[in-house]
Structure 1
Amino acid sequence: MMQNKVDVRGAPLSTAPATTTVINVPVETVVPDHVVWSLFNTIFLNWFCLGFVAFVYSVKARDRKMVGDLTGAQSFASTARCLNIWALVLGLLLTIISIVLLGMAYAAAYGGPVTGHAGERPLPLGAPAGRPGPLLARRLRPERPSPLLRVHRLACMQPTSIKCHVCDSL
């Protein structure tokens, strides 16, 4: 093992007391101004204009930080952060709700692959598709019956045992 030796040289050469100098280096506090987040909320999720108001407070926070007013910058940045959180949460919720409502309205108006035609019960799995539903049949039916259809109706009124394929009556 190696041992270190320390040389002791004795008393200092000068009898004057040692002086120390302390230099205070100002620590630059970082104040986030949330400008990018506010700009995103302004462009994409601007329900109730919260994104725009957050953007205004973010710019005010950046201006205060440039001037050197850190307390004012922190105040504006805190307000911008709160508004950004509300804009994001409300924007996502309202966007999801509006997509669901639009999907439901579209399905009710035009029918979907699950329900068939609007106003009908869904067909069981594997059941053959028959006549069009009542709403579609009403759309396909002419406003004024043609003369041939009038003759057909008169003929179907006669008692017969043959089922009519046009109006499904016996």
Structure 2
Amino acid sequence: MAFFTRLFRPARASERRFSELVGPHIETMYRMAWHWTRNTHDAEDLVQDVLIRIVNRLDELEAADKPQPWLIRVLYYRYVDLYRRRQRSPVLPAEDCAETGFAAEAESSVMDKPDRLALAAQLERALTSLSDDHRDVVLMHDLEGFTTAEIAGVFGISEGTVKSRLHRAREKLKGKLHGSF
């Protein structure tokens, strides 16, 4: 996260205000970007791209009741745009084989706790077995703490659809994880 910290050394009042509004949400933006891209470098690039795009939209950001859902919505739409562009590209991107998800990130902090590492790996497998729509809703609601209304706003779907996806995703996760214990 030191990469993003360097971006926020504001000099002018507008830069300070932007930093105050966006700064507390950088880590959440990065985590969501990482979940979507599954790659550290792509996640950093995505967040940086969004920050560059919204720096001149300070009025919109200030007008938002809650800046975090607004920022995540912008991040998500930018991710979708870049994903579609990549899909149309005749050049295939090289995959970063070194990164394997939660288990790899957790490994450094829980090496002395093999049970927690095994649980992280099981959760990783269970989450990756979900569809993108179900996984995004679970991650945003249960991991990041977004409300169903905020998630509905981010993805442009009804709150009922969010609740349905959340319920179905939890049932699938319960089924996947139940056999593991």
Give the structure-2-normalised TM-score: 0.21
The higher radius of gyration belongs to 1
Using CA pairs below 8 Å that are at least 6 residues apart, which structure has the higher relative contact order?
Answer: 2
Greater fraction of residues in helix: 2
Give the structure-1-normalised TM-score: 0.23
